[in-house]
């Protein structure tokens, strides 16, 4: 696989090292002179100096081949979006991965079709939500391309769904229960599965259906 | 004020401030956004329009600045990539019909112009004007002699 990595900070440098160790061909692009020189000691000809939003810099790195994947990992969201757009739309790079530095810029990445994205802040927040739940409905995974998300719901003794079978619940349109975790074991949820207090239920649903699902399962 | 056109100018440097002042003179209702509060001084002693301190990438700020009612958005911060992203957000997310974006790099200006963004590239304009000036300088020195030779 051939990959171009834009941005040689901590993330870009570590990703480059890992990709090389896996036997891939990689070109890393870094703009800052001091950072570039440090990277050059380790990566030699596999790092190039330049602004990865400049077309000639990308072309020098071989974007016209095109690479199998471009990773836009700079510390600047605007740059990452531009790199992603140019890679995909001008050079037909089949896969682009964008780093989101400021989670408030996520909608801009979505608007411009830069997907998948990775955002450290959002990942940390999702972990915090999962490990220290303040909510009865936890977001586990967002499938942006599919416009679906997977959530976890904790059923307790007061929940109207406790003691009822799934087929007897009127789940909102655009939602399904996937599995039920009980006593350390998970089972695929089927119509005849009866929910109990203490169950952890995984559900897949369209974004925006959380409140309806919460009402049916938890009446909250 | 009914019927007045609304303009949003993002970036209040030399270019943005001059555009804001001219649009105001031409009767537009102008809102200016800049990250730096000091940029307001570029608009003169008594700027009658709105001035908002903040970043043009902030969608909430754009709404506060009235982007949803804007007839035209001019993006002229000092960052090409920032301008291109804000321009696309104005066009694709807020459906502003007239979006003009300053892009200094001719390559990126061309690529995004091909994709339907109204980019203006001062670098290309400068190159064209300088070339024209250089060509017209050369003509009086050489052209008359050649003409005489041909006639003679």
Query: Domain holding A177: CATH number?
Result: 3.30.70.1450
Contact at CB, A78 and B85, closer than 8 angstroms: yes
User: Per-residue pLDDT tens for A32-69?
Assistant: 999 999 999 999 999 999 999 999 999 999 999 999 99
**Count of residues making up chain B:** 152
Please indicate, yes or no, whether residues A110 and A167 belong to a single structural domain of this protein.
no
Q: Per-domain residue ranges for chain B?
A: 6-120, 123-152
Please indicate, yes or no, whether residues A14 and A107 belong to a single structural domain of this protein.
yes
Q: Please list every residue in chain A whose beta carbon sits closer than 8 Å to the beta carbon of residue B111.
A: 55, 86, 90
Final residue belonging to a domain, choices A76, A103, A122: A122
Residue A183, domain member (yes or no): yes
User: Per-residue pLDDT tens for B53-110?
Assistant: 999 999 999 999 999 999 999 999 999 999 999 999 999 999 999 999 999 999 999 9
Residue A128, domain member (yes or no): no
Chosen for mutation from B85, B106, B114 (greatest number of chain A CBs closer than 10 Å) is B85
Its ipTM equals 0.85
Contact at CB, B111 and A90, closer than 8 angstroms: yes
Coil, helix or strand for A73?
coil
Inter-residue contact B77 to B16 (CB < 8 Å): yes
Q: Which fold has domain B6-120?
A: Rossmann fold (3.40.50)
- In degrees and rounded to multiples of 5, residue B99 shows phi and psi of -125, 125
Q: How many domains does chain A have?
A: 2
- Distances from the Cα of A169 to the Cα of A155, A206, A220, angstroms: 14, 18, 15
Coil, helix or strand for A181?
strand
Coil, helix or strand for A159?
coil
Q: Please list every residue in chain B whose beta carbon sits closer than 8 Å to the beta carbon of residue A111.
A: 88-89, 92-93
Nearest CA in chain B to A77: B82
Q: What is the pTM of this model?
A: 0.80
Final residue belonging to a domain, choices A122, A141, A166: A122
Query: Which range of residues forms the domain containing residue A163?
Result: 133-218
Chosen for mutation from B55, B79, B81 (greatest number of chain A CBs closer than 10 Å) is B81
Please indicate, yes or no, whether residues A22 and A58 belong to a single structural domain of this protein.
yes
User: Per-residue pLDDT tens for A59-116?
Assistant: 999 999 999 999 999 999 999 999 999 999 999 999 999 999 999 999 999 999 999 9
Coil, helix or strand for B72?
strand
Structure tokens at A164: 């009822």
Write the DSSP symbol of residue A55: H
């Amino acid at each position: 696989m051939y990959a171009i990595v834009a941005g040689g900070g901590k993330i870009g440098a570590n990703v480059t090292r890992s990709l090389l160790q896996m036997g891939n061909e990689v070109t890393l692009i870094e703009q800052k002179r001091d950072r570039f020189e440090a990277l050059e000691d380790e990566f030699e000809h596999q790092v190039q100096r330049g602004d990865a939003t400049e077309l000639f810099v990308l072309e020098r790195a071989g974007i016209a081949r095109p690479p199998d994947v471009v990773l836009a990992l700079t510390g600047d969201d605007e740059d990452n979006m531009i790199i992603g757009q140019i890679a995909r739309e001008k050079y037909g790079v089949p896969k682009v991965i964008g780093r989101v530095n400021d989670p408030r810029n996520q909608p801009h990445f979505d608007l411009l079709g830069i997907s998948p994205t990775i955002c450290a802040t959002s990942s940390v927040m999702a972990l915090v939500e999962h490990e220290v739940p303040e909510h009865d409905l936890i977001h586990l995974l967002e499938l942006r391309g599919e416009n679906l998300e997977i959530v976890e719901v904790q059923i307790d003794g007061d929940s109207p769904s406790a003691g009822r079978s799934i087929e007897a619940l009127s789940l909102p349109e655009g939602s399904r229960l996937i599995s039920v975790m009980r006593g350390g074991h998970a089972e695929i949820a089927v119509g005849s599965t009866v929910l109990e207090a203490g169950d952890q239920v995984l559900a897949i649903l369209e974004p925006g259906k959380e409140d309806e699902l919460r009402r049916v399962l938890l009446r909250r | 004020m009914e019927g007045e056109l609304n303009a949003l100018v993002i970036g209040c440097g030399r270019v943005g401030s001059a555009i804001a002042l001219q649009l105001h003179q031409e009767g537009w209702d102008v809102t200016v956004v800049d990250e730096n509060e000091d940029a307001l001084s570029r608009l003169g002693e008594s700027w009658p329009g709105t001035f908002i301190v903040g970043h043009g990438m902030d969608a909430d700020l754009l709404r506060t600045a009235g982007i949803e009612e804007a007839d035209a958005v001019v993006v002229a911060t000092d960052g090409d990539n920032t301008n291109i992203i804000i321009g696309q957000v104005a066009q694709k997310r807020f459906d502003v019909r007239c979006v003009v974006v300053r892009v200094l790099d001719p390559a990126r200006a061309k690529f995004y112009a091909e994709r339907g963004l109204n980019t203006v590239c001062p670098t290309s304009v400068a190159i064209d004007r300088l070339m024209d000036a250089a060509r017209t300088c050369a003509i009086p020195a050489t052209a008359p002699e050649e003409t005489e030779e041909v006639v003679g």
